[in-house]
Amino acid sequence: MRSATMLRGFGAASVVAGSVAFGSVLAVVSAGDAYAQQWPTKTVRIIVPFAPGSATDLVPRAVFEQVQQQTGQTFVIENRPGGGTTTGTAAVAKSDPDGYTMLVHSNGFVTTPAIQKNVPYDPVRDFSGVTPLAAVPMVLVISPEKKIKTLKELVAYAKANPGKLNYAAAGLGTPPHLTMERLRVAAGFTGQVVPFKGAPEALTEVIAGRVDVYFSPLPPAVQLIQSGQLIPLAVSSVKRAAALPNVPTTTESGFPNSDFDFYSSLFVPKKTPRNVVARIHELTVKGLQTPLMKERFDKLGVEPLIMTPEAFDARIAQETKIAVELAQATGLANSQ
């Protein structure tokens, strides 16, 4: 009888303890949901591992101005170029996973680790994707003083002068670099890469004629093209850019397997709670879809590109593998 009483007492205590524990779990979940829904309650830092004025810098400035207006909190764009984009990227990987330090990167996010040795982060292990922000056309530009007006003329010059052609890159392993390497392999010529911290520096050197060509993201180059300071030879996308309808693609110019897409994207440290990631995604998408944002993107020559965090994580994992294959095909794998 006593044993039965003790069992009943133990059972009752277990139920009570279980209820308390379950209640505690619910309280923690509720607190987490409340934290996520209240985000942001203070200044948010967005680190861009490129110099000011680059496409990867211009896009988040436009987007998060809209998010700032929605939330009433301050969003600070912090440029941290250096280390072929690894300095700023690694800083975000090591930051607190609370949603208040984020990264905006190009798809160099996955190509840089495939090329550089000892990169202090892993795209899949150390980060969660929030969403891409914009698809950015890439345009191959040259100074009018070079007297070259088509991509075929450029390739002919490069083949007639092996190794003489030099081309700019906003960081080694970044999309401008890999885009040119893909074209070089597809067209069968050699040349020398000249790295810079960002697009503005690279474009300045091309205008001056000290560097021959640069595969530039369109936003920092479009006004220079319109003013006649640069000649556009081709775009790297599968189809022509809406902002440059008369400029052919590299494939149209006669070089199959030379296309390369470029986009700007938002990331957070891997351990950021999923409900916080969802909240950041929600507000970012709202910012991307405002009429003013569409107007600004049209002027920049870019298009909004939105994915769910889960779909974007899957894409990053896939593109990380593809980046390694491309780096090996171009002879750049872990060469820097």
Domain 41-135+262-329 in CATH 3.40.50.920? The answer is: no
Residues whose CB falls within 8 Å of the CB of residue 63, separated by 6 or more in sequence, listed in order = 133, 134, 284, 287, 288, 293
pLDDT of residue 25: 46
Which of 52-66, 118-132, 166-180, 301-315 has the least mean pLDDT? 166-180
Q: What are phi and psi of 74, to 5 degrees?
A: -90, 135
Question: Is it true that the peptide bond before 40 is cis, omega within 30 degrees of 0?
Answer: yes
Token digits of residue 200: 């503005």
Residue 41 has pLDDT above 50, yes or no: yes
pLDDT of residue 35: 67
Among 299, 167, 325, 323, CA closest to 233: 167
Q: 204 near 172, Cβ under 8 Å? A: no
pLDDT of residue 105: 96
Residue 146 has pLDDT above 60, yes or no: yes
Sign of the Cα pseudo-torsion (314, 90, 75, 43, in order): positive
Distance CA 3, CA 130 (A): 57
Question: Which residues is 269 bridged to in the sheet?
Answer: 127
Q: What are the tens digits of pLDDT across the range 252-288? A: 999 998 998 889 999 999 999 999 999 999 999 999 9
pLDDT of residue 23: 53
Question: Which residues is 217 bridged to in the sheet?
Answer: 138
Distance CA 249, CA 140 (A): 10
Domain ranges in the chain with CATH number 3.40.190.10 = 138-235
Token digits of residue 303: 């298009």
Could you tell me how many residues make up the chain? 336
Kindly provide the residue ranges of all beta strands, DSSP E only, lying in 150-287, ordered along the sequence: 166-169, 192-195, 213-217, 231-235, 263-269
Fold of 138-235: D-Maltodextrin-Binding Protein; domain 2 (3.40.190)
Domain ranges in the chain with CATH number 3.40.190.150 = 41-135+262-329
Q: What are the tens digits of pLDDT across the range 206-242? A: 999 999 999 999 999 999 999 999 999 999 998 899 8
Which of 54 and 13 is assigned the larger pLDDT?
54
Mean of per-residue pLDDT scores for the chain: 88
In which band, very low, low, confident or very high, does the pLDDT at 2 lie, cut at 50, 70 and 90? very low
Q: 136 near 262, Cβ under 8 Å? A: yes
Q: What are the tens digits of pLDDT across the range 68-78? A: 999 999 999 99
Question: Which residues is 168 bridged to in the sheet?
Answer: 194, 214
Distance CA 154, CA 141 (A): 11
Q: 40 near 100, Cβ under 8 Å? A: yes
pLDDT of residue 55: 86
Among 197, 206, 204, CA closest to 154: 206
pLDDT over 90, % of the chain:
65
pLDDT of residue 253: 97
Terminal-to-terminal C-alpha distance of the chain = 78
Distance CA 147, CA 12 (A): 89
